Amino acid sequence: MDYRYLLKEENEAVRERYELSLERIRAMKDEEMREPYGSYFRRTGAFIEMIAGLTEQLLSGRQLSMEELKGRNECLYHDILPENYGESFANPSFAAEKLGKEMGQLLCFLYTEIRAEIPLAFEMRMEEITAVNETFIEVYNLFQEAFAEGKEEPDARQIQDALYWYVSDYADLTVRFRIREGVDPQLSFAADLIRESDLEDLRYLYYFGEYISEGDLKLAAFLNSLSQETINRMADTYTEGFRRGFQVMGRDLSKKKTVVIEYQLGFERMIRRAMENFRAMGLSPILYRAAAQAINRRSAGKRGYYGSSPNRQYEYDHRYDSALFMGSNLKERKLSVTKAAYEEFKELAAVCAGPAVVETFGLPGFHPENRPEAFALSPHQEEVSNQLANEIRQITNQYMPGDETSFTIIAFPRPEIGKDFEGIFRDTIALNTLDYVKYQKIQQTMIDALDQASKVHITGRGGNRTDLWVRLHELKNRDKETNFENCVADVNIPLGEVFTSPVLAGTKGLLHVERVYIDEYQFQDLWLRFEDGRVTDYGCGNFKPQEDWEEQGKKLVKQVILRGHEWLPMGEFAIGTNTTAYAMARRYEIGDQLPILIAEKTGPHFAVGDTCYSFSEDTPMYNPDGKEVTARDNEISIQRKTNPAQAYFSCHTDITVPYSELGDIVAVDEAGKEMALIRQGRFALPGTEGLNEALEE
């Protein structure tokens, strides 16, 4: 079935409203409007007209040349590209300068919401385009009415109310569709493009409706240069990891009918093969776009498929646009719509197997500028936002139980990583297919030693100030129970770690890393202090030598790592064993660019937030040696049995201390006897010394 046919009824129902909105907006350019607001409304109206032209062009089906497509893409994203952003009404600083801080914030929000019409046009979601067009007209009319009454401008509260009710009233449309596109394989816009396009002809990239960078084009061209055997190897590793996740966790994949594919544009040749593999498993692929509208956008990280960012500062400036509308009423509104949508699509949700994610790495480190004119969440709004995220996750778990689904994640470099891109890419393919039997045996040796301990002491060396004590659960029967999971390549690719959920009481000290890449941010001099397993203080040096660098650093850590929470528990302690990945990073000098998926295997890592077993704590988990991993809860997550709202944080952020900064990892038993696993960054436990070979390269 044609994807657009599914929306035919909705589009036909709204067509008259859509045409009337365009007619009114086109008339605005001939009307008098007091400056500086006239410039804003003319420029924004012109953008809406451009979207209308785009819609007509897409409906015509006319094929464009590569030059025409590049030109169209440039026009759509022109004013938010870094070289033009300084004079864009999407820039909160420019909007505040021209329109005043309060009115600038509001109209900047509106323009950013209107920019979401780009993907809506490509997907022919005319009802949502009409909704935002009509809101633009409503705001315009408020200005005209104020001027007619002799006022300088309307009351800002009127504008804010108009925008608030736009978000709230249309939640039935925007939030509902967001739920549906994550579970309904018939919404096949991207899947159809991948399946039906000539992937040798790179014009196909421009039909996704995303910004297409030179890096995206180079990445797709590079994949086209690889042999089919290599493409198959990449895709097969990815899909087999997903299948093995169900096998290892003892879950029944045969009950599932769909799988969600998340990736960045450029990998379509691999994704096409993966889609074929999944279909052979009985799973129809679902691909949904990273959210563009404020009510569905995430403040950190993207979920879905997406192209390159046209401007990372633009996205950073608008990460907290929800501050315009977030509060208890909106929270309840979104929860109500989410619940209703899942109930409507419960049969589709029940057969969704989970996400299969392709991550990328290699972009230069992003150093954001904190603009005072951008929206920021108040403490109350942060609390409400965290409650909302937690409660939505609980609703999701009711319809897609965590103990019935799985996932997999794999990562590859992007061309922006530099001149060694092709070598790094090929080495990454090899890294993703290491001999899991070899690592499984070495890791079991480590686990056997760790299971004799009651706590573990981790220290840094050189400039690294890490000094942490991690408390382990008491094992009642060491012959049948273990604290650590033996993790080889299934859900987390590449292989190479043993991990546990620590006991919080007694887990304390300082975690420090000089440089690490987390969620597209390169943190410098990052530190967190723990007491009884809870983060009590934190900071980073990203904003040195600004006068308020400490305050700005705390804000960045809170946003990206703590996900807006005042504190988080240590949800995971792990020891990475993939020294091959570490050697690759050293060879190409890309250690500070590795995604956490790979970086977490190159030293000990610590996750703040939920445990690795959240929402599936009651499902038994066994290592290859037959022992049950019993450390699936901590003092926070165990509250799920009495107070679920207090048990989860809806986040899990890993932080790795690389071998080059690592001092010792020493297991200590109740009698105080020590057993060194690592000494001065080298594996010291008998039976694990082979891991040092790669470290000596």
Instruction: Write the pLDDT tens digit of every residue in 250-269.
Output: 899 999 999 999 999 999 99
Q: Is the pLDDT of residue 645 over 90?
A: no
What local confidence, expressed as pLDDT, does residue 4 receive? 64
Q: Where are the beta strands (DSSP E) in 181-222?
A: none
* Tokens 């409650």, residue located: 387
| Interior/surface letters 12-42, b for 16+ CB within 10 angstroms, e for the rest | eebeeebeebbebbeebeeeebeeebeebbe
Q: pLDDT-based confidence at 167, cuts 50/70/90?
A: very high
Average of pLDDT values for 443-472? 97
From residue 64, alpha-carbon distances to 60, 368, 675 in Å are: 11, 36, 67
Residue 205: pLDDT band with limits 50, 70, 90: very high
Least confident of 81-85, 419-423, 435-439: 435-439
Residue 300 has pLDDT above 80, yes or no: no
Distances (CA, A) of 358 to 242, 294, 417, 526, 596: 12, 24, 17, 26, 13
Q: Per-residue pLDDT tens for 343-397?
A: 999 999 999 999 999 999 999 878 889 899 999 999 999 999 999 999 999 999 9
- In this prediction, residues 648-673 reach a mean pLDDT of 94
* Full DSSP string of 274-294: HHHHHHHTT-EEE--BPP-ST
> Quick check: 264 and 306 in contact, CB under 8 A?
yes
* Cα atoms in the Cβ-side hemisphere of radius 13 Å centred on 215: 20
Q: Which residue has the tokens 């937030």?
A: 609
Which of these, 528, 440, 527, 515, lies nearest to 484 by C-alpha position?
Answer: 440
Q: Quick check: 6 pLDDT over 80?
A: no
Rounded to whole angstroms, the Cα distance separating 638 from 610 reads 11
C-alpha–C-alpha distance, residues 213 and 219, integer Å: 10
Return all residues near 295 (Cβ < 8 A) that are at least 6 apart: 167, 171, 174, 175, 322, 325, 334
Residue 466 structure tokens: 């890490």
pLDDT of 17 reads 97
Please state, in angstroms and as integers, the Cα–Cα distance from residue 19 to each residue in 9, 53, 129, 169, 305, following that order: 16, 12, 11, 21, 30
Supply the pTM of this predicted model: 0.91
pLDDT of residue 489: 60
Is pLDDT of 549 > 80?
yes
Half-sphere exposure of 37 (CA within 13 A, CB side): 22
pLDDT tier, 3 (very low <50, low <70, confident <90, very high otherwise) = low
pLDDT at 600 over 90: no
pLDDT tens per residue across span 215-257: 999 999 999 999 999 999 999 999 999 999 998 888 999 999 9
Amino acid at 158: Q
User: Is 187's pLDDT higher than 60?
Assistant: yes
Please say whether the beta carbons of 668 and 609 come within 8 A: no
User: Is the pLDDT confidence value at 1 over 60?
Assistant: no
